[in-house]
Amino acid sequence: MAMLIETHAHLDYSDFAADLDEVLQRATDAGVTRIITIGTSVESSRRAIELAEKHANIHAVVGVHPTAADEAGDDVITPLRELARSPRVVAIGETGLDYHRLPSAEVAKEKQVQVFARALQGETEQEIEAGIHDGAYKAAQASLFEQQLDLAVELGLNVVIHQRDAWKETLEMMRPYQGKLRGVFHCFGGSLDQAQEVISMGHLVSFTGIVTFKNGVGVREVAAQLPLTHMMLETDCPYLAPVPFRGKRCEPAHTRLVAESIATARGVTLEEIGRATTATAEAFFRFNR
């Protein structure tokens, strides 16, 4: 059986509270030898470490998600630094930039559902205020991202990158760290050119169950063309369950379905995908540091 590493799961979420042991057994049965569970806040990171300390096949990544920037508090680096001292921690993250739901987008949504129609001249006061909030929100995310990148350099760890609707800004923030750390752009859904840009900077990408979707043709084609030495596998569970489990809870065992889809797209064996992506993950996360 092909041996696989699930590089991005959220096992600390309540979705897995009732049957985690069964979830882990199914992963083992599917050939998933290691699972990286990812923190999204200080508390989530703490739970991730607890899971990693309890289960030999789980490792933890500690960090604060960009969408938590507003609620993160003044100092998240001190507790993250302490958490990262655990030998079960293998990276910092997930961190990055997410501009998908800005305050101004919420204002626009409210305008769309108004029951009356009228012509608006220029920006409303609400829109102006939302624009100000957009700037503050982006600044908070950037500060949090930079602090976690600095922490990764300090500790000699790599980073798990979340990017959504902020491609150029994310790359610009990472350029000063080139040669100091490596990042994996998780849940990659961009173009081949974007993937190659990431690789040219020394970073990696990882693919989820999107490669199995009917509308995932573009992502599947990217996964078929990249060097296997620069890509990894993940599920981002409990999200993005692959075919034939779409609409249901995703879990680490589904890493095998991601690998099978990529193997088919590349015209190679599942074992080849397993060997290559496992070696890449072991080098990136340095489990035995």
* Contacts (Cβ under 8 Å, ≥6 apart) of 220: 211, 261, 262, 265
Q: What is the pLDDT of residues 143-160, one digit of tens each?
A: 999 999 999 999 999 999
pLDDT of residue 51: 98
The pLDDT confidence band at residue 113, using thresholds 50, 70 and 90, is: very low
| Lookup result for tokens 């690789």 | 199
Tokens of 222: 């990217």
Instruction: Determine the Cα–Cα distance for residues 92 and 62; give it in Å rounded to an integer.
Output: 5
Cβ-based neighbour number of residue 10 at 10 Å: 21
The residues, any chain, with a CB within 8 Å of residue 188's CB and separated by 6 or more, are 195, 205, 206, 207, 219, 222
Question: Which backbone phi and psi does 210 adopt, to 5 degrees?
Answer: -55, -30
Higher model confidence: residue 22 or residue 102? 22
Compute CA 53 distance to the chain's CA centroid, rounded to the nearest angstrom.
Answer: 22
- Type of residue numbered 153: V
- 3-class DSSP string for 54-110: HCCCEEEEECCCHHHHHHCCCCCHHHHHHHCCCCCEEEEEEEEEECCCCHHHHHHHH
Distance CA 234, CA 223 (A): 13
CA distance 249 to 238: 5
Structure tokens at 204: 């990696």
CA 283/CA 257 separation, integer angstroms: 23
For 47-103, how does the pLDDT look when each residue is reduced to its tens digit (9 = 90+)? 999 999 999 999 999 999 999 988 877 899 999 999 999 999 999 999 999 999 877
What domains, with CATH codes, occur in the chain? Answer: 4-101+141-285 (3.20.20.140)
C-alpha 30/C-alpha 162 separation (Å) is: 27
Tokens of 262: 């990529």
Query: Is pLDDT of 3 > 90?
Result: yes
Predicted TM-score (pTM) of this structure: 0.90
Each residue's pLDDT tens digit, 128-138 = 555 567 888 99
**Is it the case that residue 117 has pLDDT exceeding 50?**
no
Q: Cβ distance 55 to 25 under 8 Å? A: no
